[in-house]
Amino acid sequence: MRLALGIEYDGTDFHGWQKLADCASVQAEVESALGFVANETVAVQCAGRTDAGVHARCQVVHFDTEAQRPMRGWMLGANARLPDAICVRWAVEVADDFHARYAARARRYRYRILNRTIRPALLHRYVAWERAPLDADAMHRAAQALLGEHDFSAFRAAQCQATHAQRDMQQIDVRRDDEEIIIDVRANAFLHHMVRNIVGSLVAIGRGEQPEAWMGELLHGRDRTVAGATAPPQALCFLGPLYPAEWGLPAEATL
């Protein structure tokens, strides 16, 4: 039997999603909790790995098991074993050929910037801080140059292990909500640090340090060394992947 789960987590105290030998990871906690419920070793595959400090609203994973439990039992049993920073939001049985990573047609991220003169206290684990006034409208206009299928080498981390940098940017929006600048991004897939590197360049435009046309120049130049700095991780949240309706997943994970 193959199951798919929707998982929410605060990534502050973890060294990312991926299981590591000597560091706390979300994957290790999830596999341990599910293994206890199943009474067998469980290995999960995720829709997209997140870096240290990055959060997720609806990470999707799948795993195979011989254990027979009601869906509510998988959720409640796992949540009873998981730390407070991680929870299973839903569980559904899926077809044997469903794959959390390869079946996804889109992935969505949100980046939040607190834009005021005083640093955050209550939100310091979930936002970046920029004291200089940012022009959200200019950032939004500049970001539209990234739409479509392109080589995103200019926004790719040096340690990225992807075989190529071609990605399809389906949507990117920048808006102001009171003191926050919110950047929503959707693509078929992302490169390592791609969203944070895009944000770093957009902030330079929002400050007025670079013209709006700079984003298009960076994209076509494909040179990471001349783009903006990598934005901090804590402000990034993986909103989740999207799948064709045929897989029968909850609405928040369905196209």
Catalytic residues: 51
Which amino acid, 4? A
Which token pair is 67?
A: 């254990």
Structure tokens at 158: 């040096």
Q: Which residue, among 250, 255, 249, 251, has the nearest Cα to 94 in the 3D structure? A: 249
> 3-state DSSP: the chain helix, strand, coil percent, rounded to 5?
30, 30, 45
Give kind and range of the element (H or E) at residue 55: strand 55-64
Residues forming a β-bridge with 46 = 61
Q: Are 114 and 130 within 8 A, CB to CB?
A: yes
Supply the angle between the helices 136-143 and 214-221 in degrees, to the nearest 10: 40
Q: Are strands 236-242 and 106-114 parallel, antiparallel or unpaired?
A: antiparallel
Q: Are 130 and 203 in contact (CB under 8 A)?
A: yes
Q: Are 236 and 109 in contact (CB under 8 A)?
A: yes
Q: Which two tokens stand for residue 2?
A: 């193959």
In 3-state terms, what secondary structure has residue 214?
Answer: helix
Amino acid at 178: D
